[in-house]
Amino acid sequence: MNIFHYLLFVMVFVPVDRIVCAQATIEGRVKLPQSHTAPVVTKRYEIVSRGGVVAANPPVAVIYLEGNFPKPAVQPVSQMEQKDLLFVPALLPVQLGTKVEFPNLDNTYHNIFSYSPAKRFDLGRYPSNERPIPSQVFDVPGMITLRCDIHEHMRGLILVLNTPYFTTSDTEGRFQLKNLPAGQFKLKAWISSKTTLEMPIELKSNSMLQVTFP
C-alpha cells in the first residue's frame, strides 16, 4: 500500500475522533494549610507574608505538569486587573513568555512595580482606562511579587511556569488538569514560596488519573 492509498484508507475507514491525538486528564486534591483569617466571602485571594513565606490567603495551590514541552506558536496574553484597590486575580500563574496586561479599573491612579529577581519593573502612575494597557513580558521562570506604590495594602503574585499545563485549585484543594499529553512527567503543586510538592506520574492516552498530594 503506497502513501496515497494509506491516506485514503484513513480518511474513509478511520473515525475522525481516532485521528485526533488522544489526551489525558488529571484530577485530585492537595492538602492545604489552614487559613490564618476568616474565609473571604467574595472569594478574592489576598497575598500574605509571614516569616518570609509568601502565599495566598485563603490558601490555594497552583498545580502544573513539568516536562519538555514546545514553545507556543503564538505569544500567550493574560491580564491581572486592578479593581476595588485589589489585584484580580491576586495569584496568577502564566506560561513562560506570556505578556501580562495590567488594566486599571479603578477611578484612581495605580503604580504597579516589582523588585523580584525574576522580573524587576515599574509601570509608573497611570489612570483608569490607560491605553495601551500597561504590560510586561515575563520571560524568566519564578515568582514575582507585585505591589502598588500608591496603595500600600495591595499585593499580587505572578507565578511564571515553563509549561502550558497548569491550573489553580479551589480553597478545598480540589483541581483538574485537562487536555494533557501522554508520557512520563512530574506533577507539582505550588503552595507557597517555601513549599512545592511533587510526584512522578505516567499519563496514558484517553485516561483519567486520580491523585492526592499529602
Domains belonging to the chain, first-starting first, are: 1-66+173-214 (2.60.40), 70-162 (2.60.40.420)
The pTM of this model reads: 0.85
pLDDT at residue 59 tops 80: yes
Higher pLDDT, 118 or 16: 118
Percent of the chain with pLDDT over 70: 85
Higher pLDDT, 73 or 14: 73
pLDDT at residue 133 tops 80: yes
Among the listed residues 136, 190, 183, 182, the one whose alpha carbon sits nearest the alpha carbon of residue 162? 190
Residue for grid cell 521562570: 141
* Per-chain mean pLDDT for the chain: 88
Model confidence pLDDT, tens digit, residues 5-16: 444 443 434 333
Cβ-contact 162, 141 below 8 angstroms? yes
Amino acid at site 83: K
